[in-house]
Amino acid sequence: MVNRERISLTIDKSILDKVDKSIDGNTIRNRSHAFEVLLSKVIDTNKVKKAFILAGGKGTRLRPLTYEIPKPMVPIKGRPLLEYTIELLKKYDIRDIILSIGYLGDKIKEYFGNGSKYGVKITYVEESEPTGTAGALRLAKPLLENCNFIMINGDILHNLDYAEMIHYFMDNGAVATIALTTVSDPSKYGVAILKGNKIVDFAEKPKAEQISSNLINTGIYIFSSKIFDYIPNKTFSMIETEVFPQLMKDGQFYGYVMGGQWLTAGTFEEYEQAITEWKGL
């Protein structure tokens, strides 16, 4: 846990009223926590400066659209889906971005280049064949093994408050924290059960009768470099089924219930919903 020291402050009541309005009992637990989070946003205590984005999927459920366009590049309101994620990361001063590419990866490289036009640095890790979510991360180990970092699925739209999630991650001091949200039909996603702040059970696309929570995995994670101790040493592996169970067993798996908007574009139905409902950053 993070070391803390008790202090006394005299605060203008109008400011205090605004602070109290941010308390939701979940992401902001109490007045003390509210001040800590707000201060962390203006003081450079951000210990997470890198992001790893999974952008190598074939997007088979979006064919024929993805015969010519890689899934992270499908247009949302005139811009590639992936562009919104990169701009959100920059907003929170996360400017060192690694893109894992594979299928039609040259089109992603051609569009984003080295990231300079967005004010970020982009490095590419290329898969010759699909390696799974854990396999892709293993390939990026030389770029990430000495730091905390964010990992994001490349086919989502979100406006998550990364400053709050990073603070939550640092506060817990665990190997892994994933962002969770609620949906009406959890069966299409990875479903998590929380006990306090820890995830104690996780099921990938469970059957209806097995669902006991409406909290689902958003595909947004923060990991410490210790995550690589959990990655199998094989060509193809999945974080959801091969890494999460061991993290839970070791008590190193935390859930952060996010606010804000979250949409995915993995199917045509989801894609159409994203086009209609996305509000932007």
User: Catalytic positions, please?
Assistant: 205
Task: Show Cβ contacts of residue 222 under 8 Å, excluding neighbours closer than 6 positions.
Answer: 48, 148, 149, 150, 151, 165, 166, 169, 176, 177, 178
Q: What is the residue whose two structure tokens read 């993805």? A: 66
Structure tokens at 135: 């396999």
CA of 8: how far to CAs of 23, 32, 153, 242, in Å?
19, 11, 42, 47
**C-beta of residue 144 within 8 angstroms of C-beta of residue 225:** yes
Angle CA 174–177–180, to nearest 5: 155
Instruction: DSSP letter for 24, please.
Output: -
Calpha distance 99→67 (Å, rounded): 20
**C-beta of residue 101 within 8 angstroms of C-beta of residue 71:** no
Task: Show Cβ contacts of residue 189 under 8 Å, excluding neighbours closer than 6 positions.
Answer: 183, 205, 216, 217
**C-beta of residue 258 within 8 angstroms of C-beta of residue 153:** no
H/E element, 34: helix 31-42
CA torsion, points 180, 186, 188, 192, in degrees to nearest 10? 50
**In 3-state terms, the chain is what percent helix, strand and coil (to 5)?**
40, 25, 40
**C-beta of residue 136 within 8 angstroms of C-beta of residue 208:** no
